[in-house]
Amino acid sequence: MLSSNLGTGRFGPYGGRYVSETLVHALDELTEAAATIAGSEAFAKELSTLLAEYVGRPTPLTDARRLARALDPTGKVLGRLFLKREDLCHTGAHKINNALGQVLLATKMGKTRIIAETGAGQHGVATATACALFGIPCEVYMGAEDVARQAPNVGRMKMLGAKVIPVTAGSRTLKDAMNEALRDWVTNVATTHYCIGSAAGPHPYPELVARFQSVIGEEARRQILERTGRLPDAAVACVGGGSNAIGLFRGFLEASSVRLYGVEAAGHGVPSGKHAATLTAGRVGVLHGSKSYVLCSDGGQIEEAHSISAGLDYPGVGPEHAWLKDSGRARYLSATDDEALAAASLLARTEGIIPALETAHPFAKLDVIAQDVTAAAARPATIVLCLSGRGDKDLETYLARLAP
Ligand SMILES: *Cc1c(COP(=O)(O)O)cnc(C)c1O
């Protein structure tokens, strides 16, 4: 599964390692282990058994006929829409693919403690789940603001046996939790693995996480070939840190006929300044050990991100997406809170699927994407969209914000 070459850690000018000297050894050790241990036949077999027997993979590819016709009654622009159902993974989203891979790798490296950062708590829950499965202690850093806002996920992590550590520094949200986790890792690196939750952070994390998530794109590619006899015209996903998107894109990167679209959170609208559209409106900078696009002020201060969906509410983005944007291989759009809410409602009523708020963002841009694709391909678009997670966690927001 993982080939032995983990690359240079650079995606064009992006990526790299902007960390203190004390972490370089740990990152080298992880890079080595990712190549030798995670690159082995035996590891691939063990992980794929876990993914099948515990996570429920392969996840289905659902033909969303009613939604496609609701968006385009003629069928001339949006031909067929296939949903890659990561919402049906154990714990309800794609994050478990990466958490299981990293925790399995950490145990093979002889690590006896796992730490993680979490914003909304989704990655914290996935990591706590994997740690419970392997019987390894887990501590999760979480901004104090988020601990208060995300009580159900805090409860889940505790029930799974993890310790949740509230972070009171800075804005008391995800970026502060990530700083705190890095600080812990510096002190405890001999015994501890830091399980990063998205395709971001210093090398080798962006590549490691992308490889653990690439199971999404590999399955989707195989499934759509079986169903339609050809590759799709486009692959679409939401982009927070970018892990579910890169996981899907990796299945199609080499096929230049497949257009790639990422959709970020525009919050109250990009002009309002209250958004999380890092690739759309950010600038090049360094955040959490890696060079990429970031949301920052003229003075270089990292700014707060804003989105109705906690999982997209991050002022950075993985470096591979920065490069895919600059090179033109992928295109990035953004959807506002209101657009995402309306799209979630339409999906629920046409297909009987309540998506995570994060996942609702790409649905909101399907009409624009289908037009773009059809203009280029000169035929009705066949699109595969990564349905990254289920919406149970967001029900309160939906009920408060959507008219009955
Ligand atoms: C965390 C999360 C995301 C955003 O993370 P990526 O790393 O960009 O994939 C998207 N969807 C769901 C359901 C999430 O929980």
Q: For the chain of 404 residues, list the mean pLDDT of each consecutive stretch of 10.
A: 67 95 93 96 98 98 98 97 98 98 98 96 97 98 90 96 96 89 94 97 97 98 98 98 98 98 98 96 95 92 90 93 98 98 98 97 98 95 98 93 82
Shared-domain flag, residues 273 and 284: yes
Shared-domain flag, residues 196 and 237: no
Q: Which residues contact 166 (CB under 8 A, 6 or more apart)?
A: 142, 143, 144, 147, 172
Is residue 275 in some structural domain?
A: yes
Task: List the structure tokens of 137.
Answer: 């202690």
Residue 340 domain boundaries: 57-92+214-401
> Ligand 1 within 6 A of 16 CB?
no
Task: List the structure tokens of 70.
Answer: 């609701």
Is residue 1 in some structural domain?
A: no
Q: Using most ligand atoms within 8 A of CB, pick from 86, 87, 90, 95 the residue to mutate for ligand 1.
A: 95
CA nearest neighbour of 136 among 127, 145, 148:
127
Distances (CA, A) of 339 to 215, 246, 267, 308: 29, 23, 9, 11
Shared-domain flag, residues 157 and 241: no
Catalytic residue positions? Answer: 95, 117, 388
Number of compact structural domains in the chain: 2
Q: What is the pLDDT of residue 7?
A: 77
Would you state the torsion angle of the CA atoms of residues 144, 145, 148, 154, taken in this order, to the nearest 10 degrees? -60
Q: What is the pLDDT of residue 2?
A: 47
Shared-domain flag, residues 26 and 151: yes
Shared-domain flag, residues 290 and 251: yes
CB 265 within 8 A of CB 258: no
| Long-range Cβ contact pairs of 75-80 (< 8 A, separation 24 or more) | 75/380, 76/374, 76/380, 77/367, 77/370, 77/371, 77/374, 77/380, 77/381, 78/366, 78/367, 78/370, 78/374, 78/380, 78/381, 78/383, 79/379, 79/380, 79/381, 79/382, 80/228, 80/380, 80/382, 80/383
Tell how far the Cα of 93 is from the centroid of ligand 1, in angstroms: 8
pLDDT tens per residue, range 219-270: 999 999 999 999 999 999 999 999 999 999 999 999 999 999 999 999 999 9
| End position of a domain, from candidates 210, 240, 257 | 210
Q: For tokens 């804003």, what's the residue? A: 306
Q: Using most ligand atoms within 8 A of CB, pick from 91, 153, 213, 243 the residue to mutate for ligand 1.
A: 243
| End position of a domain, from candidates 183, 210, 237 | 210
Shared-domain flag, residues 331 and 268: yes
CATH of the domain at 243: 3.40.50.1100
Is residue 2 in some structural domain?
A: no
Q: What is the pLDDT of residue 1?
A: 41
Is residue 5 in some structural domain?
A: no
Q: What is the pLDDT of residue 5?
A: 62
Q: Which residues contact 229 (CB under 8 A, 6 or more apart)?
A: none
| End position of a domain, from candidates 210, 231, 251 | 210
- Name 263's bridge partners: 238, 333
Is residue 166 in some structural domain?
A: yes
Three-point CA angle 96, 205, 330, nearest 5°: 85
Shared-domain flag, residues 17 and 78: no
Q: Report the half-sphere exposure of 165 (CA within 13 A, side-chain side).
A: 16
Shared-domain flag, residues 18 and 124: yes
Is residue 3 in some structural domain?
A: no
Shared-domain flag, residues 88 and 99: no
